[in-house]
């Protein structure tokens, strides 16, 4: 995309919460973007959910709040269809002046995990299922969206309802057109269990691109909803009585010849598949903070509420945290069903793929696959609450094998500040913080 014909464009990188942080620049600045980049404080990628600096963070106070250099990712400039005036977003990531990656950038965390796969001659293919709600936030409380055909709020559950999808046809048509313009591979859309809840699958591709797609898709959905007179949210649990929203991640690993290392020709999958499952289960407790990063996240993690609460795996069983879908052996893959819709996609894929890789490195063996309803079983659990999740993440030995120490430290500072801040807000008003920030 040529930036010269635009009056201005945006540059943006993902902070630890997955929010886009960056600048608006005149078109002339595009000439030196690749060589000079854009200077921005390292601390910007480590602000809290409200955009405030982290008190006593070493990133600010020991470095003097120094600048890093934002450079374009390989994605290149993208249109911003939710804006009324023509503009473009250039996705960026943070480096030091000497060209080395800034360890506090979540995209670099995923890149480091993928580099470890590449050292083995492997590439990771991944896909995401993105669940979200369309909502009406025009009052003091969140409400289901207005049905564009009837002019009345949605009423009654409509799981897999074409009628509900068709009611929002103008918006979905605009969304698919925008996805095509932004090269986001949107596939099927369904109406989910909650009032105004939908899911769109994003096609399998190289894992970093899959994370980019998920990050960009969240901004697109929220921006385009506003353009159509609604709000959209990826909150884990916007309505107490309705289903939560997740981001399921499917992945497989290809060797240098393009063969799926999880395929052994049969339904059970290879030994490498089982090692990867074992690592995924072992990492799950310590990674709870990545899968459930906000106060609202823990409302989703309730037994029997369509979100995994225990560490288990199974063949083609959607109550398990780790599912091996059925299908032809050549397509054998792992589905991790734990993450909420409110996650940072780069960190989520980093701990999912990193956990699997630690299991492969250790030649670990998983427990037997479960059968029946996982909620009826006594299983090792995720961290039970936000505070516990922060402590578990900070001290977990497997997390230390997956993520850089500085990022772990920065995220714990961030989450402890947010935890204290949310204590001053009644739970009924938490949505005002999270509606569009996650």
Torsion angle defined by CA atoms of residues 206, 11, 341 and 396, in that order, rounded to the nearest 10 degrees: 80
CATH number at residue 215: 3.30.590.10
pTM of the model: 0.96
Q: What's the number of domains the chain is made of? A: 2
Q: Residues 323, 329, 335, CA angle at the centre, nearest 5°?
A: 20
Containing structural domain, residue 220: 113-434
DSSP for 314-374?
EES-TTSSEEE--S-GGG--EEE---BTTS-HHHHHHHHHHHHHHHHHTT--PPPPP-S-G
Q: Are 261 and 270 in contact (CB under 8 A)?
A: yes
**92 and 123 share a domain?**
no
| pLDDT on residue 155 | 66
**83 and 137 share a domain?**
no
Q: Which helix (H) or strand (E) holds 201?
A: strand 197-206
278 is a domain residue = yes
**67 and 134 share a domain?**
no
Q: How many angstroms separate the CA atoms of 145 and 168, rounded?
A: 10
**162 and 201 share a domain?**
yes
| pLDDT on residue 395 | 97
**233 and 268 share a domain?**
yes
Average pLDDT, the chain: 93
Question: For residue 158, what pLDDT band results from cuts at 50, 70 and 90?
Answer: low
2 is a domain residue = no
Positive or negative: CA dihedral 372, 375, 379, 380: positive
83 is a domain residue = yes
Percentage, residues of the chain above pLDDT 90? 81
**135 and 274 share a domain?**
yes
**75 and 193 share a domain?**
no
Over the stretch 64-97, which tens digit does the pLDDT of each residue have? 788 999 999 999 999 999 999 999 999 999 999 9
Question: For residue 229, what pLDDT band results from cuts at 50, 70 and 90?
Answer: very high
**Where a domain ends, among 81, 102, 123?**
102
**348 and 237 share a domain?**
yes
Q: How many angstroms separate the CA atoms of 246 and 368, rounded?
A: 25
**336 and 417 share a domain?**
yes
**Where a domain ends, among 102, 128, 160?**
102
**121 and 171 share a domain?**
yes
Q: Where are the alpha helices (DSSP H) in 25-168?
A: 33-36, 58-61, 106-119, 162-167
| pLDDT on residue 242 | 87
**Residue partners of 48: CB distance under 8 A and separation at least 6:** 17, 54, 414, 417, 418, 421
Strand-pair category, 38-41 with 123-135 = unpaired
**274 and 414 share a domain?**
yes
Beta bridge partners of 128: 202, 249
CATH number at residue 88: 3.10.20.70
| pLDDT on residue 156 | 62
CA distance between the termini of the chain? 28
3 is a domain residue = no
**305 and 428 share a domain?**
yes
78 is a domain residue = yes
**Residue partners of 73: CB distance under 8 A and separation at least 6:** 91, 92, 93, 107, 212
1 is a domain residue = no
Question: For residue 150, what pLDDT band results from cuts at 50, 70 and 90?
Answer: confident
87 is a domain residue = yes
**Where a domain ends, among 74, 102, 130?**
102
What mean pLDDT is predicted for residues 253-277? Answer: 97
What mean pLDDT is predicted for residues 343-357? Answer: 98
405 is a domain residue = yes
Least confident of 117-126, 148-157, 237-246, 426-435: 148-157
């Amino acid at each position: 995309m040529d930036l010269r014909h635009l009056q201005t464009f945006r540059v943006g990188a993902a902070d630890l919460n997955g929010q886009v942080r960056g600048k608006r620049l005149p078109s002339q600045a595009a000439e030196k973007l690749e060589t000079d980049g854009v200077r921005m404080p390292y601390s910007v990628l480590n602000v809290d959910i409200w955009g405030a600096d982290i008190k006593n963070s070493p990133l600010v106070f020991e470095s003097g709040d120094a600048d890093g250099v934002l450079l374009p990712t390989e994605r290149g400039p993208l249109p911003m269809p939710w804006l009324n005036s023509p503009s473009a977003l250039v996705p960026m990531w943070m480096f030091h002046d000497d060209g080395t990656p800034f360890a506090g950038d979540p995209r670099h965390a995923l890149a480091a995990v993928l580099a470890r796969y590449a050292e083995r001659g492997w590439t990771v293919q991944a896909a995401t299922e993105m669940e979200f709600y369309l909502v009406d936030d025009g009052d003091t409380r969140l409400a289901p969206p207005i049905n564009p055909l009837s002019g009345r709020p949605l009423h009654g559950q409509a799981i897999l309802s074409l009628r509900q999808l068709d009611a929002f046809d103008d918006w979905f048509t605009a969304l698919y057109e925008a996805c095509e313009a932004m090269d986001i591979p949107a596939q099927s859309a369904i109406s989910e269990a909650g009032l105004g809840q939908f899911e769109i699958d994003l096609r399998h591709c190289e894992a970093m691109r899959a994370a980019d797609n998920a990050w960009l898709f969240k901004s697109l959905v929220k921006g385009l909803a506003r353009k159509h007179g609604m709000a959209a949210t990826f909150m884990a649990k916007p309505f107490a009585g309705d289903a939560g929203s997740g981001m399921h991640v499917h992945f497989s690993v290809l060797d240098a010849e393009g063969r799926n290392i999880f395929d052994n020709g049969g339904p059970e999958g290879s030994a490498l598949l089982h090692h990867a499952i074992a690592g995924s289960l072992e990492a799950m407790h310590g990674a709870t903070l990545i899968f459930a990063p906000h106060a609202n996240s823990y409302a989703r993690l309730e037994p029997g509420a369509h979100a995994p609460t225990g560490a288990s795996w199974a063949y083609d069983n959607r109550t398990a945290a780790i599912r091996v879908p059925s299908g032809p052996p050549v397509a054998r893959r792992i589905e991790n069903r734990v993450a909420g819709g409110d996650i940072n996609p780069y960190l989520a894929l980093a701990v999912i793929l990193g956990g699997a890789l630690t299991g492969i490195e250790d030649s670990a063996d998983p427990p037997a696959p479960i059968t029946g309803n996982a909620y009826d079983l006594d299983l090792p659990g995720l961290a039970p609450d936000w505070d516990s999740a922060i402590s578990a993440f900070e001290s977990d030995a497997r997390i230390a094998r997956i993520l850089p120490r500085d990022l772990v430290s920065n995220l714990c500072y961030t989450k402890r500040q947010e935890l204290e801040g949310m204590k001053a807000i009644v739970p009924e008003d938490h949505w005002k913080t999270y509606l569009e920030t996650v």
